[in-house]
Amino acid sequence: MKGKRVLIVEDNALNMKLFRILLGQAGYDVMEAADAETAIRISKEQIPHLILMDIQLPGMDGLEATRMLKQDETLRQVPVVAVTSYAMPGDQEKAIASGCCGYISKPIDTRHFVEYIGQFVL
């Protein structure tokens, strides 16, 4: 996946580090944002090939950020995979309705994580 940019939007430093390591080992170029506002700015500056979007973020939540990204003409086609540690019944459906193309519950399955997200990379 050399040259493919993945934006990780995650406010938990340990989760961010785990995602960075797994994606880096798989050859992805990793960009990072700890909040939705930063993620939107980075996405506009360097259009990613995939966004991993934590749902629970400080300030704007990940689902609202996804809806905003999908309204932007240049970012509409960028796949967004929702990531959450507070999975509740109906959350996956809410994520898909917001524009996410996939859904991952934390803690993630590190054995299949890269393979799973690889199917969404542009």
C-beta atoms surrounding 10 within 10 Å? 25
How far apart (Å, rounded) are the C-alpha atoms in residues 89 and 104?
14
Mean pLDDT of 48-68: 96
The pLDDT value given to residue 1: 65
Q: Where are the domains of the chain?
A: 5-116
How far is residue 9's CA from residue 34's CA, in Å, rounded to a whole number?
6
Q: Where does the pLDDT of residue 66 fall: very low under 50, low under 70, confident under 90, or very high at 90 and above? A: very high
Q: How far is CA 81 from CA 7, 53, 89, in A?
A: 10, 6, 17
Backbone angles phi, psi at 76, to 5 degrees: -55, -40
What share of the chain in percent tops pLDDT 90? 86
pLDDT tens digits for range 5-50: 999 999 999 999 999 999 999 999 999 999 999 999 999 999 999 9
Over the range 65-89, which residues count as b (16 or more CB within 10 Å of their CB) and which as e?
A: bbebbeeeeebeebbbbbbbeeeee
Confidence of residue 90 (pLDDT cuts 50, 70, 90): confident
pTM of the model: 0.95
In the CATH scheme, what is the homologous superfamily, with its name and number, of domain 5-116?
Answer: Response regulator (3.40.50.2300)
